[in-house]
Amino acid sequence: MRTRRTAVPVALGCALAVSAAVLPASASPSPRMSQARSAGPPSVQDILDRLPDAVVAGALVRRDGVEATAGPVPRDAYFRIGSVTKMFTNTVVLQLVAEHRIGLEAPARKYVPDVLPEAYGGVTVRQFLDHTSGLPKPAATPGPQDGPGWQLRSVSPAELLRRSFAEAPGAGPGTDPVQQYNGLNSLVLGLIVEKVTGHSFTGELKRRILRPLRLRHTLLPAPEDTVIPSPHAEVYVDGQDVTEQSPYPWAEGGMISTTADMDRFTTALFRGRLLPPAQQKLVFRVPNVAGGTENTNCPGGMACYSIGGLMRYRLPSGQEVWGKTGSRPGWDNGVFATRDLRHRVVYSLNPTGAGDDLPYIKALISAAVTDG
């Protein structure tokens, strides 16, 4: 099923720590919603009952293995998962660490000397995994400002890295490591995987994760493959259909999946089915360093991203969950779970661009791990 909607890319960047997990007051709640609010925080179904609205055109949520939707969104819809891809990338790298093909404390430049400037010669693979590498800001990527057809344009990982370093000629890792979330880290990791294995990153992803877990509805398309499998939503940016778009973010954010596949992958990762015990411990290990000045996603000025590519997020209730958010033009998605997997949630929202959907996301995550 396809649904016409207007959407703009929202760079969530996991900015979950910014505001309280409450719904916006812009839309009038239904009687059921009003009754639920008077009794306490809204449940997942309460939130979905008031959608679609002016901010969110549709929603797909899988809570503890059960799907629910709002608006004309198929329960088995494919969506572009954006930066949730990083969970897969870090897992592949940690598998290669376990096989002694990549050294966790080895300089990353040892593997990709043509990619990283000499200034980053001492930065280790671990630092690329946990965002303490000190890489510069990414250079500009295709966007609406580039005119019609921008969503079909792509830039290679190597070219984006080259541009980014060229725009910051004096950049370097610094003397005291801090955590600054940066998608360029994942591009470097993907290139390291290819260099070490002699195979494409996509091929390693299939062999190591997608096939063993039977994730038949998860894929990393080639940059020129702009089509998303059906069923899916049609999404728009400023009135322009961008459903077909380049998956050029690659190991940083180019994957496509479904809620069921994302749930299966997260469950396998948390249960240690993908990594040996030594590397499994690293999945949830967050460096004890300060967050960068622009790392507003982590509360208290400290790091919150783990070596495994996860974000540690503390709910307003004090409960701790782990997961990742991601966005591509037309989709805002994420997966979060309690460490013991007692509660899990995978969501995909379709923002209209008329407002901020972050409060909806925060409310959904909070409700998914607390309501009955």
pLDDT in tens, 16-43: 543 334 455 444 444 444 444 446 788 9
Which comes out higher in pLDDT, residue 372 or 145? 145
31-368: what fold? Beta-lactamase (3.40.710)
State mean pLDDT over 206-232.
Answer: 97
pTM of structure: 0.91
Q: What integer best gives the mean pLDDT of the chain?
A: 89
Q: Give yes or no for residue 98 having a pLDDT over 80.
A: yes
Work out the average pLDDT over 298-326.
94
- Nearest partner of 50 among 61, 41, 59, judged by Cα: 59
| C-alpha to C-alpha distance for 283 and 275, rounded to whole angstroms | 9
Task: Give me the pLDDT at residue 372, please.
Answer: 52
Single-letter amino acid code for the residue at 39: A
Cβ within 8 Å of residue 68, ≥6 positions away: 44, 45, 48, 60, 61, 62
Bigger pLDDT: 146 vs 6: 146
Residue range 5-16, pLDDT digits in tens = 433 333 344 445
* Mean pLDDT within 226-255: 91
β-partners of residue 290 are: 302
Closest among 256, 206, 258, 325 to 61, alpha carbons compared: 258
> What per-residue confidence (pLDDT) applies to 371?
52
Q: Is 307 exposed, middle or buried (0-12, 13-18, 19+ CB in 10 A)?
A: buried
CB count within 10 Å of CB 144 equals: 15
Cα–Cα distance, 151 to 154 (Å, whole number): 8
pLDDT at 1 over 50: no
CA separation for the pair 271, 266 (Å, rounded): 8
Domain ranges of the chain: 31-368
Phi, psi of 80 (to 5 degrees): -85, 120
Q: Dihedral, CA atoms, 172, 178, 183, 186, nearest 10 degrees?
A: 90
Average pLDDT over residues 250-262: 98
Task: Name the residue among 321, 313, 129, 91 with its Cα closest to residue 207.
Answer: 91
